Structure 1
Amino acid sequence: MRLRKVFLALAAATGLAAASLSISTAAVPPPQTGTLGGYDITGTYVSGLSSGGFLANQLHVAYSGVFQGAGIFSAGAYDCAQNNLNTALYACMDTFQPRRTPAELEQLTRTRAAAGSVDPPQNLSGDPVWLFHGTSDQTVDRAVNDDLATYYRDFGARVAYNNTSAAGHAWVSPIGPNSCGSTSSPYVNNCGAADPVKEMLTHLFGQVSPAASALSGKLVQFDQSRYAPGGNAAAISMGGEGFAYVPKACETGPCKLMVTLHGCYQYYGLVGNALMDKGYLNEYADTNNMIVLYPQATTMIGNPRGCWDWWGYQSVQYALKTGPQMAAVVNMVKAMSGDTPPPTTTTTPVPQCITASNYAHTTAGRAYVTLGQTYALGSNQALGLWNTFTTSTIRQTSPNYWVKC
């Protein structure tokens, strides 16, 4: 399935496969309401699938002084989408349109670093990066994932790239409920004896102990608005609740922190705890002194699939340190280390002007079309012909209300 189908329709369900009998399943415990208290964090890493993989890369690049490595299932290079939905759909997942080369995106990164909007890319040199792309994955084109490998290697990262698995577009785990080649909810696949999670963690950490067969820790459910810029998680397409799995040993001793970001259609409000329960991270967390932080996206206008913002549906600053979702996740990371999160406030951010084709505005939910003409949502201001060639610049002044800039 190509990305345009993923964005425009739910993937058809495919057959399920039972988890390997040699793997012990350890169900994630029921969530306990709490806060992200301070822990002795010795290193911070990020991982993710699809839109979560794109955001994992954005976080690693923009905050390379915070994150020391990344594990990414099926995503492309930093800011491939260039704040354009069409580019995201047809160049950065499908490859029907030309996309920025890794060299061009590397130069973009250097330029932004010089302006202070992302951390210096020299920080990426020597960082462990683990990448995965399945041969049955028709959602993200292999060439796009290859660009991500090139991008990281050119900055000196230590890249390991698994591109031989028969997996579909999914997180792959020995206890995943779906068959290996599936691309269907909840997007956690089982490829038999393969254990990409162990492979990823081994590359990131150097070595790992075997996964636990029973979990000792707790699953903390916390209010994400506490960490969101503006104090409103829903306003930046993040769910009300986030989660953190904390092994018992991490309550009193040093631990690593792994931030794990779900893909589209995989957020808690849709699939529940599927990734937390079947992703096989908690089992390794228990035996390897690792806390797993599970931030949650949700839906909003322009983001009906609950994706993370990697093409600019919520903010034109999405790939910068000032990107609202990225800032929220980093606030969570800081809180885990004992830093006090910024006080919540209801201050409304200054509206950002968004320039895009009229077609892109309508598909993102910023405008609508009538008789071939495009109109701004809410204000009904005329924007011109509805096509991919006519562009207009608009901004949101209140929920579901857009005006010309």
Structure 2
Amino acid sequence: MRVRTVFLALGAAIGLAASSLPMSVAAVPPPQPGSLTKHEITATYVSGLSSGGFMANQLHVAYSGLFQGAGIFSAGPYDCAQNNLSTALSACMDTVLPRKTPAELEALTRTRASAGTVDPPQNLSGDPVWLFHGTADQTVKTAVNNDLATYYRDFGARVAYDNSSPAGHAWVSPIGPNSCGTSSSPYINKCGTTDPVRDMLTHLFGSVNPAASSLSGKLVQFDQNTYVPGGNAASVSMGREGFAYVPRSCETGPCKLMVTLHGCYQYYGLVGNALMDKAFLNEYADTNNMIVLYPQATTLAGNPRGCWDWWGYQSAQYPLKSGPQMTAVVNMVQALRDGSTPTPVPECVTASNYAHTLAGRAYASFGLTYALGSNQALGLWNTLTSSSLRQTSPGYWVKC
């Protein structure tokens, strides 16, 4: 009963929301194989909904020195899930279990900043943050979204919060294919004549020009393996293909960058270009000098719905700067900002502590195991205790 309901909710909880206007626009152009090249980026923002919204918040918090603001549809505060699926489902979407308060999560953020695993939260002060939660959205409960607003306000962000729309769990766009109150694939809704995308961009940028009625830019399809630590996107539940919409004006002049993260059941391998076509971002990109980066997650054991990692299904470091998905997205951003290509990070090797010692990746002392070179403690020396290690230089291994 409860378990089935909660898992159905997880599928939705990682979708998106939309708005509407009676208009017709050209479809997103067909993708052109290419790579992420250097552009003159003046500011970088992040947006997303549900799992993409949680991920957008993680990126904004962990890399607050890089991102200048965020637009989030239906999500909760930073690291609400605490590396626990049950907490994610029953406390950070539904509210049948207790969850960390915004104040507790703010203290956690400060502690992590002191350790250098996230940027200083003082950077969030003054940042524009736009939040959306529909009254028909039962996937992520209102109280959880309210916590996100409180978290940001307590750090001094300039928060605009639209919580009066009758929308379901979806990205709301003037050209969304679904009716306003629904929560179903492809999780892009239309709500009368409202345009939350315009509202979001106006709050983030200060003002926006009207959306284009046809698109003149190009959709670049690039290989995400290039930007993932270890060079294997599938290993961190990311798809091979990523996309970037580049307006013609951005080929030669300065532009803003918007990173947009899909929700569960919204990844390219399942719904194709639905979000890129109907989110109504490209239309504003053309008239407001804005590149839109669309990274892609995919399915993996423990992540059958293709969600972004906001509860630790892929790595316990998921909300930190060192999180594999976080690092990959930031590597994409840096490629667009300065043309850099990341140095491949060796893949993690997961094995029993006993196997690590046999392979020369670790050594044992008095029944305990330590990583060779770094001397990091790995726990008991036996075949039942496992660790993940990567080699950063010859004979030097560290925990992943």
Match of 2:347 in 1: 348
Q: Is the contact made by 1:53 and 1:261 (CA closer than 8 Å) also made in structure 2? A: yes
CA deviations on 1:44-92 (whole Å, 9 max, x unpaired) are 0000010000000000000000000000000000000000000000000
Q: Matched residues in 2 for 1:306 and 1:58: separation? A: 17
Q: Which residue of 2 aligns with 1:364?
A: none
Partners of 2:241 and 2:195 lie apart in 1 by 29
Letter in 2 for 1:273: N
CA contact (8 A) 2:36 2:339 kept: no
The 8 Å contact of residues 225 and 344 in structure 1, kept in 2 or not, is answered as no
> Is 1:2–1:140's contact at 8 Å kept on the other side of the alignment?
no
The answer to whether 1:24 aligns with 2:27 is no
Name the aligned partner's letter for residue 64 of structure 1: S
In the TM superposition, what is the alpha-carbon distance from 1:19 to its structure 2 partner? 6.2
Identity %: 75
> Residue 352 and residue 292 in structure 1: after superposition, are their counterparts in 2 closer, same or farther (change >3 A)?
farther
Q: Check conservation: 1:229, 1:324, Cα contact below 8 A.
A: yes
User: Residue 230 of structure 1: SS of its match in structure 2?
Assistant: coil
Does the aligned pair in 1 maintain the 2:19–2:189 contact within 8 Å? no
Q: What do residues 216-237 of structure 1 show as CA deviations (whole Å, max 9, x unaligned)? A: 1000000000000001110100
| 1:4 partner SS | helix
User: Could you list the per-position Cα deviations for residues 134-182 of structure 1 after superposition, in whole angstroms to 9, with x for gaps in the alignment?
Assistant: 0000000000000000000000000000000000000000000000001
What is the rounded CA distance, in whole Å, between the counterparts of 1:187 and 1:2 in structure 2? 18
Determine the structure 2 residue equivalent to 1:192: 192
Q: Report what 1:239 is aligned to.
A: 239
Q: Of 4, 8, 11, which aligns to 1:5?
A: 8
Q: Which residue of 2 aligns with 1:375?
A: none
Question: 1:3 Cα shift?
Answer: 4.4
Task: Quote the offset at 1:2 in angstroms.
Answer: 5.8
Instruction: Kindly provide the CA deviation profile for residues 80-117 of structure 1, in whole angstroms up to 9, marking residues without a partner as x.
Output: 00000000000000000000000000000000000000
1:40-55 alignment, distance < 5 Å: 40-55=40-55
Pair 18,279 (structure 1): closer, same or farther in 2 beyond 3 Å: closer
CA distance in 1, matches of 2:205, 2:21: 25
Closer, same or farther: CA 10–211 of 1 in aligned 2, 3 Å: closer
Q: Which residue is equivalent to 1:69?
A: 69
How far does residue 339 in structure 1 lie from its aligned partner after superposition? Answer: 3.7
Unaligned 5+ segments in structure 2 are: 353-382, 390-400
CA apart distance, 1:343: 3.0
Q: State the shift of 1:192 in Å.
A: 1.2
- Distance in 2, matches of 1:352 and 1:59, equals 30
Tell me the distance in 2 between the aligned counterparts of 1:45 and 1:204.
Answer: 8
The 5 Å alignment of 1:309-320 reads 309-320=309-320
Residue matched to 1:214: 214
Distance 1:156 1:338 in 2: 30
Q: Residues 284 and 170 (structure 1 numbering): CA distance in 2 closer, same or farther, change over 3 Å?
A: same
With over 3 angstroms needed to count, the CA separation of the structure-2 counterparts of 1:29 and 1:239, relative to structure 1, is same
For residues 328 and 288 of structure 1, the distance between their equivalents in structure 2, rounded to whole angstroms, comes to 26
Offset of residue 18 of structure 1: 12
Please give the per-residue CA displacement for 1:251-296, whole angstroms capped at 9, x wherever unaligned.
0000000000000000000000000000000000000000000000
SS at match of 1:229: coil
1:154 aligns with 2:154: yes
User: Residue 402 of structure 1 aligns with which residue?
Assistant: none
Is residue 92–residue 99 contact of structure 1 (8 Å, CA) maintained in 2? yes
| 8 Å contact from structure 2 (residues 267, 296) kept in 1 | yes
In the alignment, residue 190 of structure 1 is paired with which amino acid? Answer: K
Report the Cα offset of residue 20 of structure 1. 4.1
Q: How far apart, CA to CA, are the structure 2 residues paired with 1:103 and 1:348? A: 36
Corresponding residue for residue 143 of structure 1: 143
Match of 2:260 in 1: 260
1:388 aligns with: none
**Take 2:7 and 2:154, find their aligned partners in 1: how far apart are those partners?**
30
Cα 1:189–1:3 shift into 2, 3 Å: farther
CA RMSD, Structure 1 to Structure 2 (Å)? 2.2
Contact 1:19 1:177 in 2 (8 A): no
Normalised TM-score (structure 1): 0.84
- Give the length in aligned residue pairs: 353
